Each structure stands twice: as C-alpha cells, then as structure tokens.
Structure 1
Amino acid sequence: MPKFVHPDNFMRRFFALLHHAGMLTYPHHDADGDGTAVIVLSGAKLWAVINPKPGYDCMSRSDVDSLFLSVAEWGSQGMPIDSDKWDIEVIHAVPGDLIIQPPGQLHAVYTPVASVTVGGHFYSYDSMHLTELSRFIDHTHGETLTNEVHYHSKDSIMRLVLALPQITPKRSESHRPLYFDS
C-alpha cells in the first residue's frame, strides 16, 4: 500500500464538463467502478441509460461480459442496437437536474446545445458488488467499454477495504445470537 495518496484520488472526484452542441459519447460505462453524479448548469443533455431487458439481467459472468462487449460495437462499428436484449431510457436533463448513476451503468450522452455540467465520482459500500463487476469488465477489456481510465482508483478501493474494521459495528455479548439445544 502506498504511503501517500496520489492526487488523482482527489482530483477525479469532481469534474466540470464544457461541451459544444453536437457532442456525442457512445455507449460506455464510467471506469473503475465509480458511481457518478452529474448536475446540468446550462444547456441540456440527452442521457441514454442502457439496461439489459428482463431475462438478460441474471446471467453468468461470461454472458454479462459478452453482452457488455456487444454494446461497444454499437458505436465503434456502427452496429445496430439489439432491441431484443436492451432497454434504453432517455433522460432530458436541463439546468438544475441531477443524475445519479450506479457503478457500471451503461449510458450514452448527446449534447444538443452548448452545455456546462459539473459532477463527481464516488464509491459506496452499498454498491461494491456493482463496483467489482465494473472493474472486472475494465480489467478484461481495458478501454473498450469506457471513455476514461484512472490509474490510481485501486488505492481508493484498498483504503475502503482497510477502513472496514473501523466502521463495522462491534459485537457485544448482548448481541450474540441465541442457540437452543433440543
């Protein structure tokens, strides 16, 4: 474990994005298993949230892997969206709107007019199962499914794990489970 905290662990937590009209980010998930929060300050965003349809949401890890890879082909190779496997909902975000998305959420964003957004990335103990899956996909496919890579996120996750004993409630004798012998 490094003795210092790399500045990237703090700087990437907050961001500001200035986009001109017509900017499109193809389907991707945000790197490193972070959750993401975004607020539109000016302009507008069309935020397409992409989820597997029922029946494709409980799959093996290798099937999830293949399903996520099919999304990468939509933008990079101009492949059509497989509407039998995916539900896509579009959020029209205007000034004051807050979008919070969980780790690994597939999404695409179109900017119809010049826009300014601010936001940040975060980790949550409650969504670590999604963080783990998202990081697995990052590790397996590198930059294929994400638009940015942060090399020091592993340090943040290690610090979260090391903090677990400090935040886990201590068990006392009065909280022990009861056992009955028959």
Structure 2
Amino acid sequence: MSGMKMWAIYDLEDASASRDEAADTFYSLCNIDSNLCQLPKGLAVEVVVLYVGDMLFMPPGKFHKVYMLLMTFAVGGHLLSYLTMHLSEWSCFLDQLHGSLFTNQEHQDTLLVLHRMVVAIPRLSHCKLYHHTMVALCTMVLNPGQYMPQCTSEDDDLPHRPGKGGKKAKGRKAVKTSKNNLDSKCCINQANEIANCVLQVLKLDSAGAVSVLDDQPYNEVGDEVELGGALAQFQAY
C-alpha cells in the first residue's frame, strides 16, 4: 500500500531432504545465537523487493525474512489448499517444535478450516488428490495437539486436543480443550471419521501415516490417489 518491503526467500539445495533434515538446516538459519556471517550450507536465497502495488504469493513451508527500509503499510492474507497440505503440515509441525524461532504468526482458525476440508473430501470428485497431502491433512485433524503453535495459550478458545505421533512428539504437554469451541462437535466427529476412513483406504495406521510424513522428502506430494466409493457413506452429511 505504501513504502517498500524486502523479502529474503530461502530454498534447500537438496530437494530430496527429509523433513527432519530440512528442519535442522533451517534451524541453523534461525538460531540467533549462531552469529552467522554467511548462509548455512545447503541453502540458497533470493531477494524480492516489493513496491507500492506489488504482490507476493508465498507457498506454505517457504522460509523467509522480511526487511522494511522505509515506513511501510502492507496487507496480506493466507489460505489452505489440498495440493499443499504436506507443506502446511510441515510448517505447523515446526511451529509447534521451534515456534519461538520460526514465526511470530498465529492463525487461530486453522484447525476449524482443516475439519471442514476433511468433511468436503467425499465431494471432491473433480479434484486431484495426492497420497502425502491426504496423509498430512488427516494427521493434522486426528492429532491436533501435535500442531498447536507455541505462541498459543492453553486458555485460548481453540478446538485443540492432545495428540500423538511424529518422531519429535515426545515431551509435549497436553492442551486443554476450551468449553467455547469454535467448531461444532458434529463437524469434529465427522471429520475424524472421514480422516480415519481415508487412512484405511490408503492402508495406513497412525504409525504408518507418521512414517510417510517423517521419511519422505518434505516437499513430495506422492502419487495421485483414488478414494472411489469408500467415502460415499459420508456424502449425505
């Protein structure tokens, strides 16, 4: 709207890195105690300058820093997509793990939107769905406590519940469930049923779903999946 913003956008040089490897690389970038004099090994950076009238689309899971050299006013928003759920899951996972270093943002309605995205899956015959993105979406809905941002208070009115899974999930405290949930119990239950059914169609249990996310390249969508009539029972909801 006014002023200018400089965005430093980082990418991994090794696109096949696992999400643990990627997390460690970016952690070295964000750790202010490391006193970096040059870019950590394995990372590349691009600088984008936005002026009045410019817009930047930032995919999920894209590490970036922002500099403002002038008094600046800007507006922005965010969205969730079935095609990038694997990156959104990874971002939320890191937010819970290292949120004090990685972000100053909190999107309070994320879980609410994820529930509705799962409830809509039985009607997505016109959309292409992919293995890793579906696993990521279902895992976030079934284990929301694993993805609660560090900046979230236990007293916030968020429909989080403690969850399990993930190699680094040990030691996380349980999260209280607020009485004033933003999501209806009916929608939550329906989303959980559909998410479990999707994982069954993909022949995965909770441990297998975690392995898919942990052991595959963090930005890999996986093969296209056909859920067929397995979810027909949920189309009337």
TM-score by length of 2: 0.49
Could you tell me whether the CA contact under 8 Å between 1:143 and 1:149 is conserved in 2? no
RMSD (Å), alpha carbons: 2.2
Q: Which moved more, 1:136-145 or 1:155-164?
A: 136-145
**Residue in 2 that maps onto 1:62:** 20
AA of the residue aligned to 2:49: H
**Residue in 1 that maps onto 2:74:** 117
Q: Does 1:100 align with 2:65?
A: no
Q: Partners in 2 of 1:83 and 1:132 — Cα distance?
A: 24
Higher strand share: 1
* Post-superposition CA distance 1:52-76 (Å, at most 9, x none): 12xx221122212211211211x45
AA of the residue aligned to 1:119: G
User: Judging changes above 3 Å, is the alpha-carbon distance between structure 1 residues 113 and 142 closer, same or farther for their aligned structure 2 residues?
Assistant: closer
Higher helix share: 2
**Residue in 2 that maps onto 1:47:** 7
Could you tell me whether the CA contact under 8 Å between 1:47 and 1:107 is conserved in 2? yes
Could you tell me whether the CA contact under 8 Å between 1:51 and 1:88 is conserved in 2? yes
TM-score by length of 1: 0.63
**Residue in 2 that maps onto 1:71:** 29
Q: How many residues align?
A: 128
Could you tell me whether the CA contact under 8 Å between 2:12 and 2:44 is conserved in 1? yes
Q: Partners in 2 of 1:100 and 1:48 — Cα distance?
A: 13
Note the C-alpha offset of 1:77: 4.5
User: Judging changes above 3 Å, is the alpha-carbon distance between structure 1 residues 155 and 76 closer, same or farther for their aligned structure 2 residues?
Assistant: farther
Note the C-alpha offset of 1:83: 4.8
Percent identity (aligned)? 32
User: Judging changes above 3 Å, is the alpha-carbon distance between structure 1 residues 44 and 103 closer, same or farther for their aligned structure 2 residues?
Assistant: same
* Post-superposition CA distance 1:21-51 (Å, at most 9, x none): xxxxxxxxxxxxxxxxxxxx11101111111
